[in-house]
Amino acid sequence: MRITLISGFLAVISLTPVGGWGAPSKVCSHKVKETVVAPHGWVKHSVPPADHTITLRIGLPQPNFHILEKHLYEVSDPYHDRYGAHLSKEETEGLVAPNPESIHAVNKWLESHGIMESDLVRSPAKDWVTLTIPVNLAEKMLDTTYSVWKHKSGDQLVRTTSYSLPEHLHEHVELVQPTTMFGRFRRDKSTIVWADDSEIAPVQTFAAKILDSVSGVAVDPTCKSTITIKCLQQLYNTVGYIPKHKNNSIGITGYLEQFANKQDLQSFYAEQRPDALNSSFKFISVNGGLNSQNLSEAGAEAGLDVQFAFGLSHPIPGTFFSTAGRPPFKPDVGTPTNTNEPYTEWLDFMLSSTNVPLSISTSYGDDEQTVPESFARRACAGFAQLGARGVSLMFSSGDGGVGDNDPNPETQQCFTNDGRNVTRFIPSFPASVTVVGGTTGIPEVAVSRFFSGGGFSDYFPRPKYQDRVVQKYLKALPKGTYKGLFNPNGRAFPDVSAQSDRFRIFLSGRSILIGGTSASSPAFAGIVALLNDVRLSRGLPSLGFLNPLIYSKAAAGFNDITIGHNSGCGTTGFNATKGWDPVTGLGTPNFAKLRKLVV
């Protein structure tokens, strides 16, 4: 053994661990790193078997992330000299790499527990270390006790509410998960309307078109009851535009065993986009994700996403990513792991890839308060890296209004996660990307069959690009409105919106209607892919992180939605109004205007 001075603290480190994993070879004191209160709805259920394995992700600090963030805003600001000068994969990795001292300190700690380099998986930038170990070893390393926690929905996870690290490691480790993360990572509601075929409006009509007074465009009258590719092309002014650039791309993320069926896609194309017939998408498995083509296993969410995103953007090449990573803990089945964090699995894969789609939509999320702030910030740092590389990321805003659109105070779930359990609006995660809310009808109004998620983050401060429009909205609110229920200084969302109800898709060979902000996000991503084509065709780089652009130069390219609200938490929520609002954002896209504003 030897005594080594690390960062001012004495630590006894064994050169050769004895007895394999978990050998007691250190005598340095632990200090609490993170403590949370179990979120509303979770109760401690049982003790996991000692040999139950858990996959831990250790995040090392990124001391130069502020430089990456500076680059991100410069290359995303249409008025900056560096606009569009996106970073390379290698450049972004260099800006998030940890200090060598942190890598060394963490290595020595792991070695003291018998964990060698061959047991580890490192991210390309070495800012994440992943290892799979028995839960009893994790408890020893983190000086904690894991339990099986059960949610009232029946979901079960192995988690703890507090963990510690040797004191000298605190400056070298930013977080260790899954430990205190109780997020359930759910898809946004895709509300299916199981109507008879006779009840679904036909996609062709010879009736006179109606005028959308918001956008000023003429739309087929059937679009009032059924949304098709043709409806979105008309509403958002893309009729006649044919993408041509060969280096463009669009992607859809799939999670939670949602499979995108190619036969359904062909049926959809035959009906709504016949020029796309016999074309398909590229499938990429992430972390063992599957995409069964059994028609009976087709996913409504996945089908909605690929049919409309790829249908709107055809012939731009599309990719569907299926990410595994949500097995619940079931002691009787012997589930090997229970890491319910597919965001990070997907981010690991994308950040290590050299060829990433330029426009990507995701229709899955969490309540922000169920995601530890340290983890939320690191996940968003990953999104920032993709943005700096020229990728536009769209996420749906959720369908719970300002938190939970259940009007019954007895069953609503709008409670704080700080032990007080007081009523509060619940923002969604993530909110640091481009967030897409929902509209419906002609003329368009905020969706009302469910409610467009919107509000203000409790974790992330409002970025400067939002200041003018958000402050204007807040000043117009009657004094004292919802005081204490939301953070007026937080990052506000959504940023934009799109149609989100009664989308006609094919599911397991049958046409159905489906709705939710999980429809608006892929629809908006399809429009972004078209805008990327405009830029690429002129020899310009892709749009990348959209928000600084859409809140400035491109703001005039959106149809302002001024009617509707987003109920939740026993309230009517916020109102849509002139200008930006936390229901529909800046509004819905007008491609004909935007294509002139983005070049």
Token readout for 213 is: 């007074």
Contact 322, 280 (CB under 8 A): no
Determine phi and psi for 538, rounding to 5 degrees: -100, 10
Mapped onto helix, strand or coil, the DSSP state of residue 164 is strand
**DSSP code for 212:** -
- The β-bridge partners of 195 are none
Active-site residue (options: 518, 520, 521, 542)? 518
Instruction: Taking each helix axis as running N to C, give the angle between helix 373-388 and helix 342-352, from 0 to 180 degrees, rounded to the nearest 10.
Output: 30
Would strands 510-515 and 191-193 be described as parallel, antiparallel, or unpaired?
Answer: antiparallel
Would strands 359-362 and 250-254 be described as parallel, antiparallel, or unpaired?
Answer: parallel
454 is in an annotated binding site: no
The residue among 390, 388, 383, 391 whose CA lies nearest residue 365 is 383
360 is in an annotated binding site: no
Active site residue 518: yes
- Residue 576 makes CB contacts below 8 A (sequence gap 6+) with 445, 446, 561, 562, 563, 564, 565, 583, 584
Token readout for 97 is: 């790499």
The residue among 425, 446, 559 whose CA lies nearest residue 492 is 425
Contact 513, 453 (CB under 8 A): no
Residue whose token pair is 């937080």: 490
**DSSP code for 419:** S
Active site residue 264: no
188 is in an annotated binding site: no
Active-site residue (options: 301, 345, 368, 399)? 301
Q: Other C-beta atoms within 10 Å of 336: how many?
A: 11
Mapped onto helix, strand or coil, the DSSP state of residue 151 is strand
51 is in an annotated binding site: no
Q: How far is the C-alpha of 90 from the C-alpha of 588, rounded, in Å? A: 35
- What's the farthest any 2 CA atoms get from each other in the chain? 86
**Helix, strand, coil percentages in the chain from 3-state DSSP, rounded to 5:** 30, 25, 45
Task: Output b/e per residue, 526-552; b: 16+ Cβ within 10 A.
Answer: bbbbbbbbbbbeeeeebbbbbbbbbbe
- Residue 460 makes CB contacts below 8 A (sequence gap 6+) with 376, 380, 431, 432, 490, 491
In angstroms, the Cα distances linking 484 to 147, 458, 577 are: 33, 12, 22
Active site residue 410: no
Residue whose token pair is 């652009």: 549
Active-site residue set:
301, 305, 518
Binding region for Ca(2+): 560-561, 579, 581
Binding region: 560-561, 579, 581
